[in-house]
Amino acid sequence: DAGVIQSPRHEVTEMGQEVTLRCKPISGHNSLFWYRQTMMRGLELLIYFNNNVPIDDSGMPEDRFSAKMPNASFSTLKIQPSEPRDSAVYFCASSPYVGGGAREQFFGPGTRLTVL
Amino acid sequence: QKEVEQDPGPLSVPEGAIVSLNCTYSNSAFQYFMWYRQYSRKGPELLMYTYSSGNKEDGRFTAQVDKSSKYISLFIRDSQPSDSATYLCVVTISYSGAGSYQLTFGKGTKLSVIP
């Protein structure tokens, strides 16, 4: 079992550039989550998909952030334009349960984003 | 007030020590409690979960919840260097239904177990 796959693992970009983070959830999982982790704010939920449909994007910080899930095996998180305050580790997680927050979410290794 | 408060540490203990990690939460609506463990440069992984006040044991780990005081603890017996990680306490409102996907994470306590 490959687990949740994220790419790239590291991204360094300049302010104003577009950044695209990618995630492949575990096969058969119905729910997908994007999180952001910083020292100051800890782990924050950005958006949640259920069966490829965005359910709650209230955690997306602003319109510069967008997320898509075109099929059950792929999701992207895009930041355009990027700003230095977007520097963080971005995690994708998946779960076999619909709306099953109290159950286990399986996290990927994260993408460490640095915006200069 | 943050919904989940957790001492960030760092906490450094000698191998074999008993470790106590603690969290407090503010919303009595939280009914399900979890501990996730995060190794350096890795994603968090579920360690334990419980939904009732009292203790739950799993090997060297014991999760303790006191809903009356909104206090969550994780105890590690006979700590090992491989336990060195950041431990995140996590709460959620319900087991299923609306809002059940919303996990609220503490910021984590960084633990180092010294050989």
Nearest alpha-carbon partner for B18 in B69, B67, B73 = B73
Residues of A in contact with B46 (CB under 8 A): 104-105
pLDDT tens-digit readout, A81-100? 999 999 999 999 998 876 55
pLDDT band at B94 (very low <50, low <70, confident <90, very high): low
Q: What are the C-alpha distances in Å from B63 to residues B41, B56, B113?
A: 25, 5, 19
Round to whole Å and give the CA distance between B66 and B69.
6
pLDDT tens by residue, B43-68: 999 999 888 888 999 999 999 999 99
CA nearest to B92 within chain A: A102
Inform me whether the C-beta atom of residue A32 falls under 8 Å from chain B C-beta atoms.
Answer: no
pLDDT digit string (tens) for B15-51? Answer: 999 999 999 999 888 888 999 999 999 999 999 988 8
Contact residues on chain A for B42, CB-CB shorter than 8 A: 109-110
CA–CA–CA angle B59, B63, B64 (5° rounding): 140
